[in-house]
Amino acid sequence: MKGILFTFALLSPIIGGLIYGLERKFKARMQNRQGPPILQPFYDFFKLTDKRALQVHSFHSLMGIAFFVAAWFAVFALLIGPNILIAIFLHVLALLFFTAGGFSVKSPYSVMGALRELAHILAAEPILVFAAIALYLSTGSWNIEGILTSNTVPILQMPLLFCALVLTVPILLKRSPFDISEAHQEIIGGAEIEYSGLFYEAVYTAKWLEYIFIGVIVFLFGGSNYLLGALLVAATFLFVWLLDNATTRLTIHYMMKFAWGILLPLAAFNIFWVAIWR
């Protein structure tokens, strides 16, 4: 199993790209459009390499690269590392570089995007930590292999928490109604706006890794039932894409109220209930 997980982690940018391609296709079909080919993200990727590299300053560019490397490392830590909680905090570390890059340039959109990104972290991180705790609570293991081989199916114990997690996915992936930190019509991509060419490539690919990161966490809620896990992942992504098509952007206040007022209590209640019940 270790080998499979390692290979998966190694290939995660490619798989993430494929998921992104699928997403664009699905969303287009939902809107009755033809949509781009599934490999379109990779065509874009290669096109970006041809572009003339431009940068605002080296610190900014380096932070973009650091974002990609750290995000990949977080995926590695999640898939082969011995502790999923550490992986979640490493994911925050990756976002730290993203926000640092956004903050480092004198562009109002970039800084505003980075600030909004902080709100995303504030909204999503506790729920991810809760998810890890829930997985530990139901499987008794912090280790991905332990979770994947345990006898219990976490989602059966943690349905409310799983709902909260699914609703956190748009916050993490910056999808409507919570695409606040990107908000193309408002702040033109937020913290990514000042990247271009090769350096944008890093940020662009790092965002594919986010699919893998959240996808794996969702998958773990199937426990040792991999088919269920795969179904959960598929259902989650389909739901999020549908939601993305069907809703309009909310404001940051709504997001915080929703995450802290509804999702957190929901997740916490589920964990507490399971703890008391046994």
With the CA atoms of 81, 82, 88 and 91 taken in that order, what torsion angle do they form, in degrees rounded to the nearest 10? -20
Residues in contact with other proteins, counted by CB under 8 A, come to a total of 69
Indicate the DSSP class of residue 192.
G
Nearer Cβ to other proteins (138/205):
138
Prior bond to 177 cis, omega within 30?
A: yes
Residues 201-260 that bind other proteins (CB under 8 A): none
Find the shortest distance in angstroms from Cβ 106 to other proteins.
Answer: 4
Q: Is 17 among the residues that bind other proteins (CB under 8 A)?
A: no
In Å, what is the CA distance from 217 to each residue of 116, 126, 127, 128, 232? 24, 14, 12, 9, 10
Residue range at the interface with other proteins (CB under 8 A); choices 9-17, 122-130, 176-184, 226-234: 122-130
CB 235 within 8 A of CB 245: no
Q: Is 111 among the residues that bind other proteins (CB under 8 A)?
A: yes
Identified binder of other proteins from the candidate list 106, 151, 227, 248, rule CB under 8 A? 106
Q: Is 109 among the residues that bind other proteins (CB under 8 A)?
A: yes
Q: Is 152 among the residues that bind other proteins (CB under 8 A)?
A: no
Task: Name which of 96, 161, 94 is nearest 128 in CA terms.
Answer: 161
Q: Give the tokens for residue 210.
A: 């986010």
Query: 176 φ, ψ to 5°?
Result: -55, 140
CA dihedral sign of residues 188, 52, 210, 232: positive
Instruction: State the residues that interact with other proteins by CB under 8 A.
Output: 52-59, 61-63, 66, 69-70, 73, 77, 81-83, 85-86, 89-90, 92-93, 96-97, 99-100, 102-111, 114-115, 118-119, 121-122, 125-126, 129-130, 133, 136-137, 140-143, 188, 193-194, 196-198, 264, 268, 271-272, 275-276, 278
